[in-house]
Structure formats: structure tokens, C-alpha cells
Amino acid sequence: MKLVVQVKLLPTPGQASALEATLRACNRAATHASAVAFAEGLKDRNGLQKKVYADLKADFGLAAQPTVRVVKKVVDAYATLKANLRAGNLGPSTSKRYRTAVGTPVVFRPGAAQPFDDRCLSWQYDARTVSIWTVDGRMKGVRFACSPDQL
């Protein structure tokens, strides 16, 4: 079972810098993987992962699990795009918005969210800190705040 929790990280300035660099690297990697997926018509996770895994690790400085999460993020983005096209949320196929969505690869904003799982982060509930993977290495002791229900 997956649990999704909403927390607010309270990093020090140095930790914030490393976390921002991590988000930027993950989103640059996702944009690259998206361009490959678009150019080669790869919309399945296994096919795309086989094609881009080594490049994402080498060129963007990602560890194994964040690389896998980036590929999943790209595949999910294309699945969402497909669902929006089917539902008519981007207008008719003759509209400029529809044609742009179909004719260009998905691009990720530098600060867009990056999903992490229990292999990328671990919780220290009593101390209200988290240990999280960054491009600068594992960062321990990042404080967080949340509601009692989320804890």
C-alpha cells in the first residue's frame, strides 16, 4: 500500500541549495528522457528505461532510484497527456493548443515536484527529520513540519 503524506521541509540554507540542485537535475533529466520518448515513440516504462537509464545516470548525476523515478515521471506525464487529449481537455484536434501538445515533447519546469520513495528518503519521526538523497550525496537531518494526522 502506498501512503502519500504532505510535509513541509525546513532545510538550512545549505540544505536548501542541495535540494534545489537536486530538483533541477531531476527535471533536466526528465526533459531529456521526454525528448527521447517523444522522438522514438517510447511511452512504456521498460522501453524508455532501457533507452535512457545509463545516460541519465552518467550525464545528470542521478543515482539508480532517482533515475527510475524520473523515467516513471515521464511515462506518467505522457499517460496524463493522452488522457487529456481523449477527454477533449485540450480542445478539438484542429485547435492550436491540441496540435502543440501533440507535436512537442513534454517539458518539465526546473522546480517541478520530483516523486521520491522509501529508497530515496527515510524518516526519523521522533526527531522530525528526514534523510534524503541529493545530487550532493545523502543529506541527513533535514527538519520537517506536518500536521499530527500526517505524522
Give the phi and the psi of residue 137 in degrees, each rounded to 5. 105, 175
Q: What is the DSSP letter of 9?
A: E
Q: How confident is the model at residue 151 (pLDDT cuts 50, 70, 90)?
A: confident
Cβ atoms of 29 and 67 within 8 Å: the answer is yes
User: How much is the average pLDDT of 116-139?
Assistant: 94
Q: Is the pLDDT of residue 120 over 90?
A: yes
User: How much is the average pLDDT of 7-17?
Assistant: 95
Q: Is the pLDDT of residue 1 over 80?
A: no
What is the per-residue pLDDT for 137? 94
Q: List beta partners, residue 39.
A: none
Q: Is the pLDDT of residue 102 over 90?
A: yes
Cβ atoms of 71 and 44 within 8 Å: the answer is no
Q: How confident is the model at residue 36 (pLDDT cuts 50, 70, 90)?
A: very high
What are the tens digits of pLDDT across the range 68-78?
999 999 999 99
Q: What is the DSSP letter of 127?
A: T
